[in-house]
Structures are given as structure tokens and as C-alpha cells.
Amino acid sequence: MRRILIALAATTMIVGAAAAQTAETTTTETFITAKPTDVLSYNLVNLNVTNNADETIGEIKDLILSEGQLAGYIVSVGGVLGMGERYVIASPKAGKITYVENDKKWTAVMDATKDQLKAAPEFKYEGRWKR
């Protein structure tokens, strides 16, 4: 009986050690390094959005993040001095944000007209998004 208990204990230790060797470990990346192609949000907020005809059609007011990824730009359109403006959400794929090295400034270009932005579904800062 004693031999059986010793054999059982030894087998349990061997199986436990084997399981520990095959267990997967996951690590979470805590810190990263910014790449030269990265963009800081303050460079985008209040950036005028122009179209391909170089007409100003709106202004980026905010960014939407979804599951840690950029999901959209909240763009204001219309209005004067903050009165009467409405907000729409533009997909990041709908425009192009670039840094012009010679001018040392950011540009946002979107292939749309002001009328198309005005006709887009409206976003409202209310509920969980209330400022």
C-alpha cells in the first residue's frame, strides 16, 4: 500500500511539472515607443478639414476610439463662431491626415463637399458623450 501511495505521489509531481512546462504565458505590453509616423491627438483637434478643391469644409473637434483603435473623427460643419454648428462622424478612411515637413503643419483632406457633410447623420454630444 505504501508503494502505491509513493508511486501515485511521484506520478502526480511528474504530471504537474509537465503541465507547468507546457502552460502558455501571456504578457501585456505596458509601454511602447512612439514612431515617427504616429500622430498626437492635439495635432488633430481644431484642425481644419479641406476638400480636394482646397475649400474648408469643416473642423476636427474630437476623436472616437473604439477598442483601442481610432474609429472616427468628429467633424463640425456649418455655424459661425460656434453657433449653429452640427457634428458628424467621418471615418478615418474617408480622409487623409498628413504632416507637411516644409511648412511644419498638419493637414486634413477629405473627398467631400460641405453639403455632403451637412447631409451626413448628426452626432450629438449627449448621454455618455455629454461634455
Looking at residue 39, its amino acid is V
Give the pLDDT confidence score for residue 3 in this predicted structure.
55
User: What confidence tens digit (pLDDT) does each residue in 3-47 have?
Assistant: 554 544 555 555 555 555 556 677 788 999 999 888 999 999 999
Backbone angles phi, psi at 119, to 5 degrees: -85, -10
Q: What pTM, to 2 d.p., does this model score?
A: 0.74
